[in-house]
Structure 1
Amino acid sequence: MNRYIQIFLITNLMLGTFIVIFSTHWFSIWIGLELSTLAILPLLTSNQISRSNEATLKYFLVQAFSATLLLNGVLMNVWLTNNWNINLTNNPLPNFLILFSLITKLGLAPCHFWFPDVLSGLSFLNGLIISCWQKIAPLYLIITINSSFPNELILISGILSVLIGGWNGLNQTSIRKILAFSSISHLGWIISISFFNNNISLILFFLYIIITSLVFLLSYIMNTKSLSNLNNLTLSPNLIFLYIINILSLGGLPPLGGFINKIIPIYIFTNNFNYLFLLPFLIGSLLSLFFYLRIAFNTNLILFPQHSLSYLNWNTNFPSNFNYFISLLTSISLLSLILLPLFFSFI
């Protein structure tokens, strides 16, 4: 793809998200969501993966369906309230349509079916955009106006996402599908906490973006397609170490930065005496932790018998600038645990 066209598409992709964040008019929000969708479609088909066209078509159909639901819900809301501001009516039907369309865009349960298939057909860089940047606008809308939505539906969707993300990730060998179910599980935690505290949800989503971006970038550089080729990596030992650290952080192991995304929701649930709701989240978290540990062990902690000179295969001439960049982001995710007492002040 031409470089200038690529810059133009990325600019429109970012512009669409910013329009959604800074708009209070439903039509502008819908325009922003559609601008992001149309801008990313050519980017998804620009890689050399054989399944990219199929994945792009699936993504387009799902986004078109959810955009139709959103527009119908918005028009019903305008008809009932006689204004385009994002002040929803108490009528359950437009509220349900808008919430269902946003959940579909996020790929949360029970509308998660498309997300693993789409992500498995894309490159890691495009998967990073789908898993992080394209989640910002719909998640921001849910967090901003969640007081008008049926809270039970948000909580049920969060519980199902955590359980389905953990359970379906167990029998996967593709790294892309594992990361897809990981994203579903993490977003389930985030939208469930928006039921209690919007500020904490935004903080947890920011940490999720940092850690997930690191895992996608390292997977792209190391070209890790499946679990079977993780133990044959011949890259820099530093990158292997950072990959293991970020995978375990994504699983929420203390004292890594991803532990914040687990301990704060657990504290909020126990502080509000929602022990019954906390149980499925803990079960889903343990299920997810299993396949994170499996990736970490397959990467370099368990090695097949090798020749004593196998260390010569290590590539020590990897670009130092990229090493510094990855190390910086990893340090930010790790040091975020120091700010844990500050996060509790928002609760």
Structure 2
Amino acid sequence: MNQIILLFLFSSLTLGTSIVILSQHWFTIWLGLELSTLSLIPLINTNMNPRSNEATIKYFLIQAFSAALLLSGVTLNLWYTASWSIESTINNFYSYSIILIAIIIKLGLAPCHFWLPDVLGGLNFLNGIIIASWQKIAPLFILLNLSYLLPHEGIILSSILSILIGGWGGLNQTSIRKILAFSSISHLGWIALTSFYSPNASLMIFIFYLINNTLIFLICSTNNLIYLSNLNKCNISLYSSILIAIALLSLGGLPPLGGFINKIIPLTLIFYNNNLILAPALFLGSLTSLYYYLRIIFNTSITLFPNNSLNLLIINSNTPNNLNSFISILSPFPIFGLTFLSFIYSYL
């Protein structure tokens, strides 16, 4: 693709997300969501193969439907409040229920999660980063801004289902991209659940997820890690193997890695608010997610020696230098992210 066109599309994608974050007007929020979606469609369809085309069409249809649903909920809210402001304090159950369903679809939360594994399974890892990370920013900010108005039962139910389905759904998958899709569903469930109790804590958890998830996608892309059955045949270096192991264990929430605080904060908020009945579902979802993280780690390291003895610390010589540099910049985060996020949380 032409570099000027590529720059224009990425600029439009960034602009659309920025409009959603900064706007307090429902119509401009809807325009920002549409701008980011329409900018992304040409970007994710650059490969021009049948699977990519199918994934692009699925993504477009799902996003178009959720945008129409959001506009319907906003219009119904306008009927009751006579205002386009997102800060309207008049809570109409029907309009905000429709808005919540639209947000759930855009985030890929259960029970509207079916599109996410199919879309990520048909795209390459670099496009998957945008779908699984960047495109979650705008709907998440809407959720955080409206967390006190949206139906609380709906948020909690969708979050618990996402954590459970995200954990169990990845157990029978062999595609790394689909496994990461179910991992994304699970983590977004944790983030959405935390938003009900503390939007600031939810934002901090999302920042960690964004960085850690990007790192994992980049490592998989640079080492061409496609299927579990082929991981033991990939020429992956010791450095990359250790890095992806740390990043996945951090996502799993094992101490003392950075992801540990992402599990402790929601559990603390749940116990503090006497919602102990939710804890078993959270533990069950986390344990099942950890199982398929360990499967990836085991398969990437089982044939590490002696095949890679001459290239222990090389990421991948065929990878563009900018990607290698980006991986090196992000690599300390799964380890030291706990200290970094604790520092940020103290000021929220």
Fold match by TM threshold 0.5 = yes
Bigger mean CA deviation after superposition, 267-276 or 286-295: 267-276
Q: Which residue of structure 1 lines up, in the alignment, with residue 70 of structure 2?
A: 70
Output aligned runs, 1:238-249, within 5 Å.
Answer: 238-249=239-250
- Aligned-pair identity in percent equals 54
* 2:262 maps to 1:264: no
**What letter is aligned with 1:178?**
I
- 1:20–1:32 Cα contact (<8 Å) kept: yes
Output aligned runs, 1:40-189, within 5 Å.
Answer: 40-47=40-47, 49-88=49-88, 89-189=90-190
- 1:55–1:118 Cα contact (<8 Å) kept: yes
Q: Which residue of structure 2 lines up, in the alignment, with residue 7 of structure 1?
A: 7
State how far apart, in whole Å, the 1-side matches of 2:308 and 2:236 are.
Answer: 12
Task: Quickly say closer, same or farther: Cα 1:224–1:279, change in 2 above 3 A.
Answer: same
State how far apart, in whole Å, the 2-side matches of 1:238 and 1:333 are.
Answer: 14
Bigger mean CA deviation after superposition, 42-51 or 32-41: 42-51
Q: Which residue of structure 2 lines up, in the alignment, with residue 208 of structure 1?
A: 209
**What letter is aligned with 2:145?**
T
User: Deviation per CA, 1:277-315, whole angstroms, max 9, x where unpaired?
Assistant: 111011101110100011111111x239x8x67635779
- 2:55–2:122 Cα contact (<8 Å) kept: yes
Q: Which residue of structure 2 lines up, in the alignment, with residue 331 of structure 1?
A: 332
Q: Structure 2: give runs of 5+ residues left out of the alignment.
A: none
Bigger mean CA deviation after superposition, 237-246 or 191-200: 237-246
State how far apart, in whole Å, the 2-side matches of 1:254 and 1:297 are.
Answer: 19
Bigger mean CA deviation after superposition, 334-343 or 95-104: 334-343
- 1:49–1:122 Cα contact (<8 Å) kept: no
Aligned-pair Cα RMSD in Å: 2.0
**What letter is aligned with 1:139?**
L
Q: 1:257 aligns to what SS in structure 2?
A: coil
Q: Structure 1: give runs of 5+ residues left out of the alignment.
A: none
Task: Quickly say closer, same or farther: Cα 1:324–1:310, change in 2 above 3 A.
Answer: closer
* 2:33 maps to 1:33: yes
Task: Quickly say closer, same or farther: Cα 1:53–1:343, change in 2 above 3 A.
Answer: same
- 2:238–2:308 Cα contact (<8 Å) kept: no
Q: Which residue of structure 1 lines up, in the alignment, with residue 309 of structure 2?
A: 311
Q: 1:195 aligns to what SS in structure 2?
A: helix
Q: Which residue of structure 2 lines up, in the alignment, with residue 250 of structure 1?
A: 251
- 1:215–1:243 Cα contact (<8 Å) kept: yes
Task: Quickly say closer, same or farther: Cα 1:257–1:125, change in 2 above 3 A.
Answer: same
- 1:49–1:121 Cα contact (<8 Å) kept: no
Q: Which residue of structure 1 lines up, in the alignment, with residue 220 of structure 2?
A: 219
- 1:200–1:346 Cα contact (<8 Å) kept: no
Q: Which residue of structure 2 lines up, in the alignment, with residue 191 of structure 1?
A: 192
**What letter is aligned with 1:17?**
T
* 2:22 maps to 1:22: yes
Task: Quickly say closer, same or farther: Cα 1:310–1:12, change in 2 above 3 A.
Answer: closer
Bigger mean CA deviation after superposition, 232-241 or 333-342: 333-342
- 2:236–2:308 Cα contact (<8 Å) kept: no
